[in-house]
Structure 1
Amino acid sequence: MPRDLHQLLIVLALSHVAFCLCSARNNVMAAAEKQTVGVYELRKGDFSIEVTNWGATLMSVILPDSKGNLADVVLGYDTVAEYVNGTAYFGGLIGRVANRIAGARFTLDGETYRLYANDGNNSLHGGHRGFSKVIWTVKDHVAGGDNPYITLYYHSFDGEQGFPGALDVHVTYQLSSRYVLSVRMNATAHKATPVNLAHHAYWNLRGHGHGSILNETVQLFASRYTPADAATLVPTGAVAPVAGTPYDFRAPARVGARMAGLRGVAGYDTNYVVGDGSSFLRRVARVQDGATGRGLELWADQPGVQFYTANGLAGVKGKGGVVYGRYGALCLETQGFPDAVNHPNFPSQIVRPGQVYRHDMVFKFSF
């Protein structure tokens, strides 16, 4: 059963402000008012997660360490209201297009579309009110048993945040086997439109309130990356080898081992090339925490992964009153390449009517 229902009035009030300017948005608001915002648990033994349908957000992942001690290994907030007001994208389902779109504009089939610029002159994570800032519909929820899961649905209207065409989106979180979390996304379009969904969990395998991840060991199964402008973090369009650069994590290395060699940036916020566009699961990354013995292995079917070391966190109050600081977590956001709509050499993220966008992720935990 959902909890935090007392936050619903706050959610609806904030949503009303965002939707009061046009009739199409008011129609969406009317539908949203009929929904309930809550928190839903999935549990399999001593492995459990919590999800809220505000932003299809992953709020917690609790699992043991090598000594059997349980801890929550994702950063976040205690209440839904804090997710409504938060700006860090903790655990959110990002869309319609994750990451940055240069100049908040793109051209598709001869028509130029102007988006909401919420990152300087650029659009970031779908605009100021992307998919992590809307109410999703709970389609199905099985809390326990052999394969507990929850499926959430969102209808994105034509023109939302400037994107063309309506889009129907589903995401399923499932504890698919012992200490394995699957995240499955799909979307169908009513008109040609870019789609690049991403999952934005902030991981700290020592526990969400246990400081820096700079000593955690990371391995990225990528020999290339897409260099970006240091000021805007928008890709230049080039694809470069990681060999001989601070971006080389082909062999396991401490997160902070080569960070001093980065130029013009405070940490990693980089798209790595992990696939060629073919839609099959491949190993993307491994993370290991030496203090607890916890490990994470990520598999996914997207061509890229954004490796982010929480460079922008500074004094963010999280769960239990813990204050999160810079490098307090790392993100592994599998995705299409950032700004692909403006780089024809990048794998296309355009979905047309009759096509189905799919994005699968599998997190395998060990200890």
Structure 2
Amino acid sequence: MARALVFLALLCLVTSALVCVGEARKMVGVYMLKKGDFSVKVTNWGATIMSIILPDSKGNLADVVLGKDTLAEYVNDTAYFGPLSGRVAQRMARGRFVLDGKVYHTYINDGRNAIHGGHRGFSKVIWTVKEYVAGGDSPYITLYYRSFDGEQGFPGDLDVYATYQVSSPYVLSIRTNATALNKATPVNFLQHVYFNLGGQGSGDVLGHTLQLSASRYTPMDEELLPSSGRVDPVAGTNYDFRTPTPLGARIRQVMGGKGVRGYDINYVIDGAGMRRVAAVRDGTSGRALQLWANQPAMQLYTGNGLNNTRGKGGIVYRQYAGFCLETQAYPDAVNHPEFPSVTVRPGQVYKHDMLLKFSF
């Protein structure tokens, strides 16, 4: 037994591309998807996007995703750099909900509330690599996770798949689906990537221009919960991005929680089905991003909580060093019957698709 433990310890040190996690000492890998000068790195720890590298208008390559250097750092990360969050992402008031007359209590990990599925949500587990094609016309990786009945307090077994695929020109698709196997359960995923189109570590994103296909939003209270249940028009507010507007233009006039300046707000996306949600451009590098998705809402987060956070290559990320565009269901929908339901019943399939279209 002692020899076996020594062997496992040595195995963990063999390569920096692998890290040992948990009692079972399961291995976590890094997987590259590359097409020409466009490349994406993914790890099966938390189904996390670690990097996205593409040219700027002068042909200079840069990584436009904030993150960490090593897998061990991702395991200990508390800023949610790039993972797939679930079973129910965003905040849930008091970590409780009622479904079919039964009260469920989930793990509290954000003050008095739950966030991103609990302390061991989908971002903190090892996913199984089902398929991996590194090259060719459309390299992709498909990851799988079985979420068990009672995990973090959620009911029922859930089969989850996430596929990341690179295609031309400079498009990353993210396709997720989940099937409830034996009990009704709430489901809401989101991808928590921090972008800086100037390149990670290049400074803040306040000069990036943002346009959103959103004429309504859900006002938040100090705990960043939509406690009022209202859906208000953005017209005449500091949340109006219907025309291209610098992220920093009104950022000091909005509160992203108690005592914090910045955007951490949910928008209701106009239309339905797969449609353009957002367009962002960095004038300095010339890089631009269009986000398409099939979800009803999107959380805009401007990295308000980054506070001298150590990132890649020893770079220190300060406040507003990146932004997140988190397509999702309405936050805390489990406690708001006036919002569209997030309940998935046995045999039903939840589908969440995104397209990231880069240009320069």
TM range (shorter): over 0.9
Aligned to 2:276: 283
- Residue type of the alignment partner of 2:268: V
Structure with the higher helix share, 1 or 2? 1
SS in 1 for 2:27: coil
In structure 2, do the counterparts of structure 1 residues 44 and 9 end up closer, same or farther at CA, with 3 Å as the change threshold? closer
Aligned to 1:209: 201
2-side partners of 1:192 and 1:138: how far apart?
A: 26
- Residue type of the alignment partner of 2:336: H
1-side partners of 2:86 and 2:205: how far apart?
A: 27
Q: Deviations over 1:97-144 (max 9, x none)?
A: 110000100000000000110001100000011101000000011011
Query: By how many angstroms is 1:266 displaced?
Result: 1.1
Partner residue of 1:255 out of 239, 247, 251 = 247
Partner residue of 1:316 out of 306, 309, 313 = 309
Mapped pair 1:354 → 2:308: no
- Kindly report which structure 2 residues correspond to 1:155-304, keeping only aligned pairs within 5 A, or say none: 155-190=146-181, 191-229=183-221, 231-236=222-227, 237-263=229-255, 265-275=260-270, 278=272, 280-304=273-297
Mapped pair 1:132 → 2:123: yes
- Residue type of the alignment partner of 1:325: R
In structure 2, do the counterparts of structure 1 residues 65 and 315 end up closer, same or farther at CA, with 3 Å as the change threshold? same
2-side partners of 1:159 and 1:111: how far apart?
A: 14
Mapped pair 1:332 → 2:325: yes
1-side partners of 2:107 and 2:264: how far apart?
A: 22
- Residue type of the alignment partner of 2:308: G
1-side partners of 2:260 and 2:235: how far apart?
A: 19
Q: Deviations over 1:286-319 (max 9, x none)?
A: 0000000000000000000000000000111111
SS in 2 for 1:116: coil
- Residue type of the alignment partner of 2:251: M
Give TM-score, length-normalised by structure 1.
0.91
Assess if the C-alpha contact under 8 Å between 1:296 and 1:363 holds in 2. Answer: yes
2-side partners of 1:283 and 1:196: how far apart?
A: 20
Assess if the C-alpha contact under 8 Å between 1:179 and 1:366 holds in 2. Answer: yes
Partner residue of 1:106 out of 85, 90, 97 = 97
What RMSD, in angstroms, separates the aligned Cα atoms of the two structures?
1.6
- Residue type of the alignment partner of 2:111: G
- Residue type of the alignment partner of 1:348: S
Alignment size in residue pairs: 344
In structure 2, do the counterparts of structure 1 residues 275 and 112 end up closer, same or farther at CA, with 3 Å as the change threshold? farther
Can you give the 5+ residue segments of structure 1 that lack an aligned partner in the other structure?
A: 17-29
Partner residue of 1:40 out of 31, 41, 53 = 31
Give TM-score, length-normalised by structure 2.
0.93
- Residue type of the alignment partner of 1:232: E
